[in-house]
Amino acid sequence: MKNLLLTTSISLAAICFSDQPNIVFIYADDMGWTGSSVEMIEGDAATRSDFYQTPNLEKLAAHGMVFSQAYSPGPMCTPSRAAVLTGKTPAELHITTPGGGRIDTSHQMLTPRTTTRLPEDLPTLGTVLKEQGYATALLGKWHIGRRDDAGMYGFDVHDGPTENASNGTDDDPKEIFSLTQRGIEFMEQNVKAGKPFYLQLSHYAVHIPIQSRPESIRKFEKAESGEVHTHASYAGMTWDLDDSLAEIFRAVEKLNITDNTYIVFMSDNGAPGNPRRPNNAPLNGGKGSVYEGGIRIPFIVAGPGFKTGYCAEPVSGTDLFATFAAWAGAEVESGESEDLTPLLTGNDAAFSRRTDLLFHYPHYGQGPAQKPQTAIISGDWKLLKDWESGACELFNLKTDIGEQTDLSAREPKRFAAMYETLKLRLAETEAQLPEQNPDYNPKEKKEWRRTSNRRN
């Protein structure tokens, strides 16, 4: 690991991207922005967990770049995963929730039935990198379409149409270490063959059910609990996920590919949370909401030629499509996706975002905080629309990361401009919108079915 990370001081000019770097993408499930022991904002202890321990993520962060304002494309796993693979926002893909959306009429809004699968002719990370001569693997969770799998979208090695359930054992209940070992074997095979590789380890952790190795649970049962994070078994599961990173680091070093391998860590959405269970503090809300707690996530990148430290530029999981394609030497139509290489190499002036980031969740979820919402983010500013009330809130995320003060009345020009942009982005992407339910009666109790989000 030490040798791998010492190479990060090399300048971009010393890198020949025609050498096609190997890419290892470690994709966590439901890890919140403060779900690790890495400070997401440098020097701010409130932006890391007060209980969970992730020493290997700390190593990656110390020798790589931490993106302080990184976002999942959506507040649920399936939309985010589809967006990462294609560089397109969930609104444009019409994949905005797991499953197909609710079919009940017991709410104020009628929500759209969404697409459940990716078009097979749509370029993906798998097809783009494969065309560039890469061996491609996506191991672990897929969860895009009930019968589809990663093999249909350019991945040579995959686990089939997997969803949330892992096939773990008592010693490896979330399949963390078996996934990692199979990923290492894939790396070994392609290094031996002299072929560049893309390895995506899509972990089942730290999604429920909460499971970890018995010794990991015991470790945290003996530790002093935090004020925000208190669950020993969840801490153990987080520890297990982090422990697997050390195996990746050792394998990269052993294979002597430290000078040509990039390691990327990201979560697919925020952790579950609500006012009674503020797992994402100091952020507001949680999974299933487009408040910061639902979409702001940990994102760390390390490798040769990349700067170390922190980047405050708003970025999204959609940006991985353009970024990975650029590393492989491919030219792609990137849509919302932006190549992050200028930020990673200290050439910030060369980076610009063509569109404001869009987050669209036109659905109801499993709790009162999970309801139809849309947001756009432009720099430090965020506009959020609640579709039930029609009301919008304007936040300055630099001064109000917890989204407690609506500035729409104090900033009328900015509010009006951002609201027009929100409408434009929804129109551009042909987003599916919720509609008023003409039969809604708030006094009438109706039984409704949890059909879509049992699988989230």
Length of the chain: 456
- pLDDT at 106 (0 to 100): 82
Structure tokens at 280: 């994402």
HSE on the CB side for 398, CA within 13 Å? 7
Residue intervals in the chain for CATH 3.30.1120.10:
357-438
Residue intervals in the chain for CATH 3.40.720.10:
2-11+20-348
- pLDDT at 116 (0 to 100): 86
Positions in the chain whose pLDDT score sits under 70 = 1-18, 100-104, 274-276, 278, 444-456
pLDDT tens per residue across span 278-329: 689 999 999 999 999 999 999 999 999 999 999 999 999 999 999 999 999 9
Name the CA dihedral angle for 414, 418, 421, 425, rounded to a multiple of 10 degrees.
Answer: 160
Instruction: Give 357-438's CATH code, choosing from 3.30.2310.20, 3.30.1120.10, 1.10.260.40, 3.40.640.10.
Output: 3.30.1120.10
CA distances to 132, 170, 189, 253 from 197, in Å = 10, 31, 10, 16
- pLDDT at 369 (0 to 100): 80
* Partners of 377 in beta bridges: 357, 382
pLDDT tens per residue across span 326-368: 999 999 987 789 999 999 999 999 999 999 999 999 999 877 7
With CA atoms as reference, report the closest residue to 344 among 320, 379, 328, 377. Answer: 320
Phi, psi angle pair for 407, to nearest 5°: -105, 15
CATH of domain 2-11+20-348: 3.40.720.10
- pLDDT at 276 (0 to 100): 65
The three-state DSSP-derived secondary structure of 288-352 is CCCCHHHHECCEEEECCCCCCEEECCCEECCHHHHHHHHHHCCCCCCCCCCCCHHHHCCCHHHCC
Query: Which amino acid, residue 347?
Result: N
